[in-house]
Chain A
């Protein structure tokens, strides 16, 4: 179980990092979203994994750790706000310059752009 969650975090991180290093805005945004998932799951997992014991008080003995859940809940909502802002900025940049590259034209990373 642990290895599945850990590898899922790893896969999402790797894919996120790869997409963040692309040259156009849209994949970069997708990459940031993937990294957000990875980070959220990572934070959530810091409460360790518990199956079938949600932190809703009943007569049970064991509950999942509620604190990381509360932190991640707000993180999810905030990440929506941040994604929306980044999308708006990239959209504005694209509409203004008809170009959705993330790098400055004069920087040397764009030399190989054809």
Chain B
């Protein structure tokens, strides 16, 4: 199967569980499993090529200018990780299906899980490192969603935020590192980068790149000092912990270190940084794990410790170290996922994870006991289980490693770490399952073994643990294959036989010390715990919280003086800032010569200007009377449209004047509820201040416009092209319309979508208002002005009904002629909507609603669909999206006329505009409708009660 499909399947499949939520939990789980299985089988079809030592590659150019291409690569290492991700993923899906409670939203969970799975597979199959970064960030995001899946738990939300902060920060560092690396190598393709070891390591920017990439890896894989987020992420549901925090996501950092191993490793910087961080993490994690009472916290810190171990092995930079790391990744994934799942089972059945109240579960949950014990023993490094093999090899590798200080330091620390590791494993078994048999009632819930849905997935993993442990030769060839692709051409795969018995050697002795020591530590656990509890130690979470709090305080200190909730202040600051920037540009830039002749001014122009200026100034000074202000702004709009006509823009004038009408209707509807006067509030000095700022802004706008009106554009405008090609290429003589529906059709398409969204937003806000506490207020509202005696005056009713067909005809005419004469979909839509609104106004809401055939949402949707489908139609003739075509036909007795696909597109525009305007206005009037309750649809219905009604004269409105 194509690599594309393997990566894409989980992403595409992620839609299914969410959509199928209502089909039941079984179906959701089933479809999720099928998706994973399909990707898994797809991966396996590539197995023969991998075994033959080939590297499967595929790809296409995405943004070649940026070096960002979708190139995928599958080699041994990628295959290994993809196998873990998809294989364990399937087990987790089965487990999760049975783990989640009835009230959990399973579709949501599996959608997130598949998104995560796709992102992980993307990381391990990426060839392009920029693509890899995208997937890297996607894992951070999807793990955020998964950790915070139980939104009601505060710990879950906090843990999710912490994980996102830490891994997100690391991701940022990593972007920097990867960009440097790609710059040095001259390509962002891994296959090229991996060939450039010498060039990269010799570059002066090698160390910054290395450190940045390592920060990314360390944060993701919870290495010291970034280890603290992982235990807090344990607030996630257990399937998530088992999947993300043991088997996959935390291994992403390890994966990247392994992937970059051939180019980055082998230098002193790599050795000291990586090995030291790994060693500290391993020992620290093991010590903390021992004293954790929460089963999952214990496992979390043990994961931290084991990830440290793997990091340390990769840090040594030897081929043997790399091989042990690969082997331990495999072993750790198997036993740790099984252990997490058994911890989840214990939690599920006993309703607690506190080791202190558990114990004696061996008798009540024998199956879980066997699974957990085998897993824990493997983790402790007991022979015949796979953990033993990799731990022995690790000890062999570390025994000869020298970091600093005395020569025995590293081996001693590693042995100590293994000892603590053995101790917490024994504690896990001893304090949870062993101990004397207890009454089932003494647990928070009555424990018993779960159904096979929960125990089978970990059991399958435990079978692997035992199989590899007993017969290591089964896994050895695969481990060597993966190792070969990790180390690339840098070194030879070591000739080492993975087997149980190597004779009595130093690693074995270290191992025995660790196991015996672990038993002793467990025996002394109580006094040790007392000491531990008394020892003061820095708490990573509180340090993290303090840092965040300090950053927040700093941000508030910087922002609050500017951003204090006073909109007026923002407006002022923005105006002054823009003016200052403009002034700077004005004083530092150069102004060209005025080359255009000034056009003469006649009386007509002056008259128009005076009307506009008078209305505008009047509006600003008389705005306290809101109805008057509305009239004045109407005059301004009218004069602007007159100006458009005069200045050769008939389309603009028609649009402006129709929009003006609907805007005024809209504001009138709003004023129905809002107070009719604006109180005088600002003291005189504030008004003078505001007038001054506004005047300077106005002068600046005027100066700028005046200057450019007298000059030609610096670069020749592209308008000539449109004028020249409008008829030839677009088949229309109205260039503005051809630009809208043809040249810039995609823009227009987006515009009508925005318009539709705005209308839907208004509808949604109205719905919210009408279903909330405002509704009662509206119902009890007394109109603030006396109502007219007739709600629907006869003359207006007759007139609007007679006019309706005429309006429709005019709209149709404007629409049809739009391609060649002023008009088109936008204007026609506005004209028709004014016609419809008039029906609402004259004959009443109920009357109009009765006669409304299609809901306005549907009209918007139909418009967007028609426009979109017209655009898509050009694909079928092999043209790019939204290519238009036209032809001329002649049906006798008519004149020859033009048929253009652009007309169809314009129809979409028409419908979307009509629907959007109508939906907005209708929403507003629905508020009023509820307010009045009574809504007669008869013309000439005189309201006899009006003579008794006492009009509410309160000018403040409602």
- Which of B31-39, B251-259, B756-764 is near enough to bind chain A? B756-764
Contacts of A22 in B (CB 8 A): 568, 623, 678, 682
Contacts of B647 in A (CB 8 A): 5, 44, 49-51, 64
Distance from B560 Cβ to chain A, minimum over Cβ atoms (Å): 10
Q: Report which of A6, A27, A44, A82 forms a contact with B758, defined as CB distance below 8 A.
A: A82
Contacts of A33 in B (CB 8 A): 633, 663
Contacts of A113 in B (CB 8 A): 681
Contacts of A89 in B (CB 8 A): 765
Q: Does B408 contact A (CB under 8 A)?
A: no
CA distance A33 to B771 in the complex (A): 30
Given contacts A34-B633, A87-B666, contact A23 B649 (CB under 8 A): no
Given contacts A8-B612, A10-B699, A80-B663, contact A1 B605 (CB under 8 A): yes
Contacts of A23 in B (CB 8 A): 568, 681-682
Given contacts A1-B599, A45-B705, A53-B648, contact A21 B572 (CB under 8 A): yes
Q: Are B681 and A21 in contact (CB under 8 A)?
A: no
Q: Are B740 and A73 in contact (CB under 8 A)?
A: yes
Closest A residue by C-beta to B924: A88
SS class, residues of chain B in contact with chain A: helix
Q: Are A18 and B667 in contact (CB under 8 A)?
A: no
CA distance A49 to B709 in the complex (A): 7
Given contacts A45-B709, A74-B740, A100-B674, contact A56 B735 (CB under 8 A): yes
Q: Are B616 and A34 in contact (CB under 8 A)?
A: yes
Q: Are A4 and B698 in contact (CB under 8 A)?
A: no
Closest B residue by C-beta to A95: B774
Q: Are B674 and A10 in contact (CB under 8 A)?
A: no
Contacts of A27 in B (CB 8 A): 623, 629, 678
Closest B residue by C-beta to A62: B648
Contacts of A34 in B (CB 8 A): 616, 619, 633, 636
Distance from B724 Cβ to chain A, minimum over Cβ atoms (Å): 10
Given contacts A77-B755, A92-B774, A112-B686, contact A42 B705 (CB under 8 A): yes
Q: Are A2 and B723 in contact (CB under 8 A)?
A: no
Distance from A95 Cβ to chain B, minimum over Cβ atoms (Å): 5
Q: Are A91 and B616 in contact (CB under 8 A)?
A: no
Q: Are A44 and B649 in contact (CB under 8 A)?
A: yes
Residues 37-57 of chain A: 1 if any B CB is under 8 Å from the residue's CB, otherwise 0? 110111011111111111111
Q: Are A67 and B674 in contact (CB under 8 A)?
A: no
CA distance A78 to B567 in the complex (A): 23
CA distance A16 to B619 in the complex (A): 9
Contacts of A19 in B (CB 8 A): 619-620, 623
Q: Are B681 and A114 in contact (CB under 8 A)?
A: yes
Given contacts A78-B751, A100-B674, A100-B675, contact A73 B651 (CB under 8 A): yes
Q: Report which of A44, A63, A82 forms a contact with B723, defined as CB distance below 8 A.
A: A63
Residues 17-39 of chain A: 1 if any B CB is under 8 Å from the residue's CB, otherwise 0? 11111111111111001100110
Contacts of A15 in B (CB 8 A): 616-617, 619-620, 694, 698
Given contacts A10-B701, A74-B751, contact A48 B596 (CB under 8 A): yes
Q: Are B701 and A67 in contact (CB under 8 A)?
A: no
Distance from B731 Cβ to chain A, minimum over Cβ atoms (Å): 11
CA distance A82 to B633 in the complex (A): 17
- Which of B260-268, B835-843, B915-923 is near enough to bind chain A? B915-923
Closest B residue by C-beta to A77: B826
Q: Are A14 and B695 in contact (CB under 8 A)?
A: yes
Q: Report which of B605, B620, B633, B820 forms a contact with A4, defined as CB distance below 8 A.
A: B605
Distance from B667 Cβ to chain A, minimum over Cβ atoms (Å): 7
Closest A residue by C-beta to B726: A57
Residues 83-104 of chain A: 1 if any B CB is under 8 Å from the residue's CB, otherwise 0? 1110111111011101010111
CA distance A113 to B566 in the complex (A): 13
Given contacts A22-B568, A27-B678, A96-B774, contact A17 B575 (CB under 8 A): yes
Contacts of B524 in A (CB 8 A): none
Given contacts A56-B734, A69-B651, A81-B916, contact A108 B566 (CB under 8 A): yes
CA distance A106 to B672 in the complex (A): 29
The interface size of chain A toward B, counting residues with CB under 8 Å, comes to: 94
Distance from A112 Cβ to chain B, minimum over Cβ atoms (Å): 6
Q: Are A54 and B649 in contact (CB under 8 A)?
A: yes
Contacts of A58 in B (CB 8 A): 733
Q: Report which of A14, A88, A90, A94 forms a contact with B694, defined as CB distance below 8 A.
A: A14
Q: Are B601 and A4 in contact (CB under 8 A)?
A: yes
Given contacts A78-B755, A98-B958, A106-B565, contact A44 B644 (CB under 8 A): yes
Q: Does B491 contact A (CB under 8 A)?
A: no
Closest A residue by C-beta to B597: A2
Contacts of A21 in B (CB 8 A): 568, 571-572, 690, 693-694
Most buried by A among B616, B617, B675, B693: B616
Closest B residue by C-beta to A110: B566
CA distance A26 to B618 in the complex (A): 16
Interface residues of B in 602-641 (CB under 8 A from A): 605-606, 609, 612-613, 616-617, 619-620, 623, 626, 629, 633, 636-637, 640
CA distance A15 to B355 in the complex (A): 72
Distance from B563 Cβ to chain A, minimum over Cβ atoms (Å): 10
Q: Does B727 contact A (CB under 8 A)?
A: yes
Q: Are B705 and A10 in contact (CB under 8 A)?
A: yes
Given contacts A74-B740, A76-B659, A96-B774, contact A17 B666 (CB under 8 A): no
Given contacts A78-B754, A81-B916, contact A55 B727 (CB under 8 A): no
Q: Are B681 and A38 in contact (CB under 8 A)?
A: no
Q: Are A30 and B651 in contact (CB under 8 A)?
A: no
Contacts of B927 in A (CB 8 A): 91, 95
Given contacts A4-B606, A56-B733, contact A37 B916 (CB under 8 A): no
- Which of B304-312, B714-722, B881-889 is near enough to bind chain A? B714-722
Contacts of B769 in A (CB 8 A): 92, 95-96
Q: Does B589 contact A (CB under 8 A)?
A: no
Closest A residue by C-beta to B754: A78
Q: Does B646 contact A (CB under 8 A)?
A: yes
Q: Does B898 contact A (CB under 8 A)?
A: no
Q: Are A94 and B623 in contact (CB under 8 A)?
A: no
Contacts of A81 in B (CB 8 A): 754-755, 758-759, 916, 920
Contacts of A49 in B (CB 8 A): 599, 647, 709
Q: Report which of B606, B629, B652, B678 forms a contact with A69, defined as CB distance below 8 A.
A: B652
Q: Report which of B566, B673, B693, B766 forms a contact with A94, defined as CB distance below 8 A.
A: B673
Q: Does B600 contact A (CB under 8 A)?
A: yes
Q: Are B762 and A85 in contact (CB under 8 A)?
A: yes
CA distance A38 to B694 in the complex (A): 13
Given contacts A18-B694, A57-B723, contact A13 B701 (CB under 8 A): yes
Q: Does B736 contact A (CB under 8 A)?
A: yes
Contacts of B655 in A (CB 8 A): 73, 76-77
Q: Are A3 and B706 in contact (CB under 8 A)?
A: yes
Distance from A49 Cβ to chain B, minimum over Cβ atoms (Å): 6
Q: Are A69 and B701 in contact (CB under 8 A)?
A: no
Closest A residue by C-beta to B672: A91
Q: Does B744 contact A (CB under 8 A)?
A: yes
Q: Which 5 A-B pairs have the closest CB atoms?
A: A14-B698, A10-B702, A104-B565, A109-B566, A81-B758
5 other A-B residue contacts (CB within 8 Å) besides A10-B702, A81-B916, A95-B774: A11-B613, A37-B640, A50-B647, A88-B762, A91-B924
Show 13 residue pairs from A and B whose CB-CB distance is below 8 angstroms, ordered by the A residue.
A2-B598, A5-B709, A12-B636, A22-B568, A26-B626, A27-B623, A44-B644, A56-B733, A57-B726, A58-B733, A69-B652, A76-B659, A80-B917
- Interface residues of B, Cβ cutoff 8 Å to A: 564-569, 571-572, 575, 596, 598-601, 605-606, 609, 612-613, 616-617, 619-620, 623, 626, 629, 633, 636-637, 640, 643-644, 646-652, 655-656, 659, 662-663, 666-667, 670-671, 673-675, 678-679, 681-683, 686, 690-691, 693-695, 697-699, 701-703, 705-706, 708-710, 712, 717-719, 722-723, 726-727, 733-736, 739-740, 744, 747-748, 751, 754-755, 758-759, 761-762, 765-766, 768-769, 772-774, 777-778, 820-822, 826, 830, 913, 916-917, 920, 923-924, 927, 958
